[in-house]
Amino acid sequence: MFDSKMLTSFVIKSSLCKYSNMKIGGDAAYLLAPQNVSDLSSIIKEANAQNLQILPVGGGSNILFGNVGNRVIILDAYLSEIFQVDNDTVIVSSNMKISSFIDKAMQYGLGGMEFISGIPAHIGGAIHMNAGAFEKCISDYLYWVEYVDMKGNVITIDRKDLEFGYRTTSIIGFIVRAAFKLDKKTKKQILADKEDIISKRFERHPYDYPSLGSTFKNPKGKFVGQLIEECGLKGLQIGEAQISEKHANFIINLGNATFNDVYELIKIVQETVEKQKGIELKLEIKVIN
């Protein structure tokens, strides 16, 4: 248990399902919401002193919560929102939604990142997983990142000193701010590009039900959705979790799906695809259990 009276003021009594796009999750012993970077640093240091695992959570767009045990789950909900513009550079807090970021930048005639329109993530989470689509990645526009590492130290690092891969980054910690170099574009063009991307997403993806987006990473030269469909698993349902009929790399919550429902589908997909295709599928989502 936390001994510090100061830390108890950050505890939130709430179910984790509120912080997951999948709408799945129970109670957490340590669900904390710092209000500034100093609070965040203190929480991490105290958690380390208590030998507790730490899990940063932003928009919850790619986290499947099971039994989180005694993990210290840190939310970005109460951190200040920042949005500052200097010529073509935008400094933004990690807790801003991607949709808000794109809309605010558009008001200054700055764009380029419309390719991630429609992704229900926060900026920090998008950086952590190097979110991308249509042959572009968020790291293409990143200038620098400020984050709190797992020892509680505040670090600012340039893009050139970071490593990014397919849905991965070398950052280990809680991102608090980032700067992006954007393209100068007309509001009309930004809006048109944004609407085109969102239209394509709604055409291909099952946004009518809660999900965590793409469940698995695409193997090199392959598309997971196609592999799952070829294995005859499209539409497979366990409880109220289903492999989407619209896009087989999405697992959707039909209403009251549980962690176990979703996790069983994940295991079936991985085992079946490996058996039939000889391909080991790796998760794009985070499974916490």
Same domain, 95 and 171: yes
122 has pLDDT over 80? yes
Same domain, 90 and 186: yes
Into how many domains does the chain fold?
3
Parent domain of 279: 208-288
Same domain, 17 and 41: yes
Q: Provide the mean pLDDT of the chain.
A: 93
Q: Which of 26, 52, 75 is the last residue of a domain?
A: 75
Same domain, 168 and 268: no
Same domain, 184 and 235: no
Per-residue three-class SS string for the chain = CCCCHHHHCCECCCEHHHHCCCCCCCECCEEECCCCHHHHHHHHHHHHHCCCCEEEECCCCCEEECCCCCCEEEECCCCCCCEEEECCEEEEECCCEHHHHHHHHHCCCEECCHHHCCCCCEHHHHHHCCCEECCEEHHHCEEEEEEEECCCCEEEEEHHHCCEECCEECCCEEEEEEEEECEECCHHHHHHHHHHHHHHHHHHCCCCCCECCCCECCCCCCCHHHHHHHCCCCCCEECCEEECCCCCCCEEECCCCCHHHHHHHHHHHHHHHHHHHCCCCCECCEEEC
7 has pLDDT over 70? no
Same domain, 198 and 215: no
Average pLDDT over residues 67-78: 91
Average pLDDT over residues 254-265: 97
Q: Which of 75, 94, 114 is the last residue of a domain?
A: 75
Same domain, 91 and 159: yes
Confidence of residue 4 (pLDDT cuts 50, 70, 90): low
Q: What was the pLDDT predicted at 6?
A: 54
The CATH number of residue 22's host domain is: 3.30.43.10
Least confident of 12-21, 43-52, 63-72: 12-21
130 has pLDDT over 90? yes
Q: What was the pLDDT predicted at 167?
A: 86
Q: Which of 33, 57, 75 is the last residue of a domain?
A: 75
156 has pLDDT over 60? yes
Same domain, 95 and 195: yes
Q: What was the pLDDT predicted at 8?
A: 63
Q: Which residues are catalytic?
A: 167, 214, 284
pTM of the shown model: 0.88
